[in-house]
Structure 1
Amino acid sequence: MDDSPTNAQATWEGASRRADWTRPWTTLRIADAPFDRWFVDGELNVSSNCLDRHLPVRSTRPAIHWEGEPGDRMTITYGELHTRVETLTRALRAAGLAQGDRVALHLAWLPETASIMLACARIGAIYSVIPTPLPVEALAERIRDFEPRFLFTQDGAWRRGSILPLKSRVDEALAAVPGVELTIVIRRTGQDVAWFEGDRWFHDLTTESRPGAQQEDSSPASLPAEHPLYVEALANRRGDPVSITHGSARLLLMSAMIHRSSAGQDGPTWIAGDAPWIAAQSSGILGPLFWGGETVLFEGALDTPDHGRAWDIVQRYGVESWLMSPSTARLLRDWTASTTRVPDVTSLRHVATIGERADKAVLRWFADDVGQGRIEVADGWGQVQLGGVVRFDRPVAPDGLPDPGLVIVDVDGASVGPATKGEVVLTSPWAGTVIGVHGAEAQQVIDEHWNRFPGRYATGDQATYDADGNIEFLGRLDEVVSVSGYLVSLTEIREALESHPYVHAADVFEVRHPAAPPSILAVVTLDRETSAVGPLETVTRGLLDDLRETLGGLARPRRILVLDRFGDELSRRQRREALAAIATASTQSGASDLLAWTQVVATAGVDWT
């Protein structure tokens, strides 16, 4: 990227001045491909910037409003959250956790989840959040790849009125993955769990470090700006896990600027997303707390006990800024349309969607139908490799985020004109960029994003310029899609299907629906011997179950279609459009249909414009 001074760099410098540094940085940026070095020689602590510096004036003010799925609630002030984090810091240090150690969080959004993240940041431990719905095999793979010393989990987690057996899944996973020294269990549901050497109850661990016990130091460590804070798993590449590492100062300042751009600085903020989503951590913890604001954390599903739960939360805590994925926004619209209940959300001022391709119709619904002109709406675009959202089309504070210098280029890197599709690239230096990529296929990821167009970051996102010259994002160029805020590799699903003994060939792609979230569609041709296995529905449901066990529930296609053959009369685009039309013509989900290739060819003759 261009080494000359830019407005973007000036914005990064201004943002850095809002943080408390234990040692000021001397040089803003040193070019060092592929990730550069930022805030050189500087030291700070993320936990201190989110808590300690606010205590003189905000000790008794709310920091977190938490609500559990069963309806239990808790408001935690800055003073109380600081005490919780200090107590846990002492306990973890007493248990041997040190700077640079790794901690895995297999947790839903609990008050303890926020405390653990901030305690890790206080110590200088590196944490990663593992999704709670993962099956045992996928959970074991995440643990094996991350190699944590300590692991936090729950006895069970609430999800739509049922209990996910988190502790038992962890027990099974750890039986296959050695190396975790301490498993710390939060009692959430009260169910009985098996107990093994190395297991500790969270409440026992923290009780031992309270006043009266021998005290460990709870002060925040002074850490280099580039010290690793958080490790996030990307979609697998060629069957191998790939992860990225976010640096402390980079992620903290990115979160602060995202919050300023999407919500301003005051008023309760809520991001409707689970803890593993980096946007949920950025806009749910780091961003609001950096500015001394209030944030809302919700444990469960938005449709439990009914479709009005989300609106109840907004009203109960006076939420002013609400962030969510477009898929969540569509669900809220559809749920509301199916009832006579009109949400009373007079507190709501800002709504932004992030994480997927924008749905302009849903944003208009929030602005016009829900807000009656009071609500400002925006769509945010970004990537996890860049630290989250890098631009909002209608930001609350126009100077909140630096200008990323987005342009659209062709395959050779040349800028394209209006109404021409191309790939979006960043041309401005970006401090939110990760500090490392790890895994057997890490170089592939680096080549894809940082080396294809020297001096620029290639996003892999397709876009075009609209009539006003604004960038309109069209989706991914590669075979990775976002499902509920998590990256899912369509290539991984296809390869898993093709490796199954029942399957001869497969195709997997995303299908978009006018009034529902996007879904994953799988199309297969079966091996000649598969007919002996049983009815077609038994075969396809077995395939779906195997995918869930191997890759997790998010990678489970909504539908499997079975073809008699894949012909060569159609292009891949034509074939997929025809199959998507056939699939969406039926409301059946999960089960399979047996199709003739001639039917696909006939459907492809439809005028798609």
Structure 2
Amino acid sequence: MAEDWAHRWTRAAEELVWDTPWSRLYTPEEPYGRWFTGGRLNIATNCVDRHAEREGDRPALLWEGEPGDRRAFTYAELRGAVRTAAAMLRGLGVGAGDRVALHLGWLPETVVAMLACGRLGAVHTILPTPLPAEALAERLDDFQPKLLLTQDGAWRHGTILPLKARADEALSAVGGVEQTIVIRRTGVDVSWYAGDRWWHEATGVETCTEPERPEARAAEHPLLATPMANRRGRPVSAVHGTANVLVTASTIHRYGMSPGGVFWCAGDITWLGAQVHGVYGPLSRGDTAVMFEGTLDVPNRDRTWDIVERYGVQTMVTSPSVVRRLRGWARRAPDQCRVSTLRRIVTLGEPIEPDLTRWLRDQIGTGGLDIADGWGQVELNGVVRLDRPVDATRIPEPGLAIVDENGATVASGERGELVLTNPWAGMLRGLEGVGAEDAARHWRRYPGSYATGDVASYRDTGDPHRPELIFHGRLDQVISVSGQLVSLTEVREALLAHPFVADAEVCERSDPRLGRSLAAAVVLATGVSTDNTTTLARDLLDAVREVLGGLARPRALCFVDRFGPELSAEARRRALAVLLAGAGEEPCTLTWDQLLAAAREDPVPGR
């Protein structure tokens, strides 16, 4: 293994505080390898305590709620809040290895709970606030938490989501949760049951019995679990280790994303990228992290630029989908005084189109804004590569290569599967769920490499060390929508579960305004009336949203007379993608003959 590779990882790890230094950097061991053998550290020490001891008055969190309320925490105040929350959790019986589910939006208490769990060695997961009760119950049943944290209600686009009520309904179908801690956020009335406690009362004790210095944990002690898109209808979650998260988050933050200063990750906290790069990254470096609870068009579509101006944001991280919305909302570019502090924008989660990059650079930054695009995966703990990093010499080389089905490197311009040929410290530490075995194939396809499942190609830039990486989608039936993975199989199964549907297909489509989105085609059951296709389509799409959430809701739907045996499932999806590429949100009607004709024009028939 290259000496420079090991040197960079060593330097990255040495920038953290270790209670016990590791004895060996990396051990090649199936399937993921072992990192930092013998090392012990604590995430709260590295993200809070060490900064509080040196510069306790430095702002750590600048938080703004959707209705406009604001709160700020210095590092000294954040340290006190984390210690108090850890003492509360410990008093409720939570210890190392126990599981805590956070059914929370992006609140200061969410960040405090994440760090308090890490301080104790408890494993946490963050469950999306829009989940309906049935889907929430499934997530809880998969994760098996000892304790649940939720809110009375959550603000979302000017309305209140009834989180506590949904949690109560979900818990009635799931066993094992011993306590529910409720954060008072909106003031709505909630039902109360045995084991329920208010956060403000549980953390409002006069004295804190939590030790001054947190107990060190083994380097790979599990820190968090995050659900991945289901494979073939089978759930699977990735479990990430403490040092694995810390080392990569800290390194990518400072040398990939931000040279320092006020940092804002404009994304949903349930997105792993927001947790790693919006919380652990900036806090591990002692930076100031801006956090926003709601949607960026409330109360108006200038909210993004209001936040940048109010807090002096210097680096902003978001997804291309958010940038597209910002461009669509903009009648004109914001006044330059409002974005005068902004120096850098980093996009994650999906490829960004050149015209979006130009809009950011020319209209928002008037030519002086640095734009970078990052690639990574849930399995790899977020971002691995940026096309314009802050300092490329300090980021360990993942050894990206593009190979054919036999593992041979393809020529420049040819498509193949993207693989990592070097070990990556952020690699997950385990897979959970009945779909884990199916997901584990990424470590078996090419000996000595990790297969990403992404189809890509290289474009020559004249610099042999920095060719342009072009992405062309996925090998499996999982796509990235607004930075989060969505399973086409899951969406299809949700449609098939509707009594009006006899058959269904779901495909990915590219929209110049919205980016990647889903489109669906259904064959209706015998006897179902088509007198009002608009109402019927809305019912079908709403059923998908209720089960899987808003990102999984197809943006276009068509009704097809039948699906014949002439095409494979993949060829059928490709034909639908062609026919529905320009479709609006109003339902349309297609025939099977039209799909066959589109498939015949496909340059890769039968794939």
The 5 Å alignment of 1:8-47 reads 8-47=5-44
Match of 1:315 in 2: 309
Match runs of 1:41-80 below 5 Å? 41-80=38-77
Q: Name which of 98, 111, 120 aligns with 2:108.
A: 111
Q: Which moved more, 1:432-441 or 1:499-508?
A: 499-508
Partner residue, 2:155: 158
1:407 and 2:405 aligned: no
TM-aligned CA deviation for residue 506 of structure 1: 1.7
Residue 596 of structure 1 corresponds to: 591
Are 2:484 and 1:486 aligned?
yes
Structure 1 counterpart of 2:521: 523
**Partner SS, residue 453 of structure 1:** coil
Partner in structure 1 of residue 464 of structure 2 = none
* C-alpha distance in 2 between matches for 1:30 and 1:558: 46
1:379 counterpart SS class: strand
Show CA shifts across 1:435-487 (max 9, x none).
0011112111112x100101100000001111324321222121111222221
Corresponding pairs, count: 598
Aligned equivalent of 1:461, options 454, 467, 475: 454
Paired AA for residue 537 in structure 2: T
Q: Deviations over 1:384-431 (max 9, x none)?
A: 101110010110121342111001000111110022110000001111
2-side partners of 1:42 and 1:604: how far apart?
A: 56
Q: How far did residue 269 of structure 1 move?
A: 0.5
Letter of the structure 2 residue corresponding to residue 201 of structure 1? W
Residues 378 and 565 (structure 1), Cα distance of their counterparts in 2 relative to 1, 3 Å cut: same
The CA distance in 2 between the partners of 1:400 and 1:474, in whole Å, is 28
**Deviation of the 1:575 alpha carbon:** 5.2
Which has the higher mean CA deviation after the structures are superposed, 4-13 or 96-105?
Answer: 4-13
Deviates more, 1:490-499 or 1:92-101: 490-499
Question: What is the distance in 2 between the residues matched to 1:75 and 1:31?
Answer: 44
What's 2:361 paired with? Answer: 367
Q: Where do 1:126-141 residues align within 5 Å?
A: 126-141=123-138
**Equivalent residue number for residue 386 of structure 2:** 392
- Are 1:419 and 1:465, in contact at CA under 8 Å, matched by a contact in 2? yes
Residue 180 (structure 2) aligns with: 183
Mapped pair 1:300 → 2:299: no
Please report how far the alpha carbon of residue 536 of structure 1 lies from its aligned counterpart in structure 2 after TM superposition.
3.6
The answer to whether the 8 Å contact 1:366/1:375 transfers is yes
Pick one of 480, 484, 501 that aligns with 1:503: 501
2:263 and 2:282 in contact (8 A); partners too: yes
Q: For the Cα contact (< 8 Å) 2:323–2:356, is it kept in 1?
A: yes
Q: Hey, what's the Cα distance between the residues in 2 that align with 1:143 and 1:408?
A: 38
1:310 Cα deviation (Å)?
Answer: 0.5
Deviation at 1:241, TM superposition (A): 1.5
Whether 2:200 is the aligned partner of 1:207: answer no
Note the C-alpha offset of 1:37. Answer: 0.7
What is aligned with 1:377? 371
1:444 corresponding residue in structure 2: 438
CA distance in 2, matches of 1:358, 1:475: 13
CA distance in 1, matches of 2:526, 2:139: 36
C-alpha displacement at 1:80, in angstroms? 0.6
2:276 to 275, 282, 294: 282
CA distance in 2, matches of 1:195, 1:217: 32
CA distance in 1 between counterparts of 2:209 and 2:244 reads 32
Aligned-pair CA distance for 1:568 = 6.2
2:542 corresponds to: 545
Q: Which residue of 1 aligns with 2:554?
A: 557
CA distance in 1, matches of 2:371, 2:333: 24
1:139 CA displacement: 0.5
> Is contact 1:134-1:553 (8 Å) kept?
no
Normalised to the residue count of structure 2, the TM-score between the two structures is 0.94
Shift of 1:546: 2.5
Once the two structures are TM-superposed, the CA of residue 10 in structure 1 deviates from its matched residue by 1.8
Amino acid at match of 1:439: G
Pairing partner for 1:89 from 86, 89, 92: 86
Name the amino acid aligned to 2:28: A
Q: Which moved more, 1:578-587 or 1:399-408?
A: 578-587
1:228 aligned onto 2:222? yes
Do 1:409 and 1:425's aligned partners in 2 also have CA atoms closer than 8 Å? yes
Please name the residue that 1:249 is paired with.
243
Task: Provide the rounded CA distance (Å) in 2 between the counterparts of 1:586 and 1:446.
Answer: 36
**Aligned equivalents of 2:373, 2:400: Cα separation in 1:** 16
CA contact (8 A) 2:480 2:516 kept: no
Given the alignment of the two structures, is residue 351 of structure 1 paired with residue 345 of structure 2, yes or no? yes
Cα 1:575/1:437, change in 2 over 3 Å: closer
Q: Is the 8 A contact 2:240 2:429 kept in 1?
A: yes
Which moved further from structure 2: 270-279 or 196-205? Answer: 270-279
For the residues of structure 1 that align with 2:28 and 2:270, how far apart are their CA atoms? 31
Residue 218 and residue 56 in structure 1: after superposition, are their counterparts in 2 closer, same or farther (change >3 A)? closer
State the one-letter code of the partner of 2:72: T
Deviation at 1:187, TM superposition (A): 0.3
1:84 partner amino acid: A
Aligned residues of 1:452 and 1:458 also touching (Cα < 8 A) = yes
Q: Answer yes or no: is the 8 Å Cα contact 2:256–2:392 preserved in 1.
A: no
Which moved further from structure 2: 450-459 or 497-506? 497-506
- Structure 1 residue matching 2:19: 3-state secondary structure: strand
Q: Contact between 1:423 and 1:461, CA under 8 Å: does it hold in 2?
A: yes
Work out the percentage of aligned pairs sharing the same amino acid.
Answer: 50
Give the drift of 1:95. Answer: 1.7
Tell me the residue number matched to 1:471: 469
RMSD: 2.1
Matched, 1:101 2:94: no
Comparing 372-381 with 34-43, which one deviates more in the overlay? 372-381
Distance (whole Å) between structure 2 residues aligned to residue 372 and residue 552 of structure 1: 37
Does structure 2 conserve the Cα–Cα contact (< 8 Å) formed by 1:386 and 1:434?
yes
Alpha carbons 1:265, 1:293 under 8 Å: kept: no
| Shift in Å, 1:50 | 0.8
Which stretch of the first structure deviates more once superposed, 260-269 or 188-197?
260-269
Once residues 104 and 127 of structure 1 are traced to their aligned partners in structure 2, the CA distance between those partners, rounded to angstroms, is 6
SS at match of 2:440: helix
Residue aligning to 1:172: 169
Instruction: Give the letter for the 1:123 counterpart.
Output: L
| CA distance 1:169–1:54, change in 2 (3 Å) | same
Instruction: Report the alpha carbon displacement of residue 555 of structure 1 after superposing the two structures with TM.
Output: 1.7
Instruction: Give the partner amino acid of 1:241.
Output: P
The correspondence of residues 136-147 of structure 1 with structure 2, limited to 5 A, is 136-147=133-144
The structure 2 residue matched to 1:420, chosen from 408, 414, 417, is 414
Deviation digits for residues 309-359 of structure 1 (CA, Å, limit 9, x no counterpart): 0111111111111111111111112211x3575453111111111111222
**CA apart distance, 1:525:** 1.5
Distance 1:576 1:452 in 2: 25
Q: SS at 2:470's partner residue?
A: strand
What is the match of residue 264 of structure 1?
A: 258
Normalized against structure 1, the TM-score is what?
Answer: 0.94
Q: Residues 566-577 of structure 1: matches in 2 within 5 Å?
A: 566-567=563-564, 576=573
Q: 1:38-64: CA deviations, max 9, x gaps?
A: 000000000111111112331001001
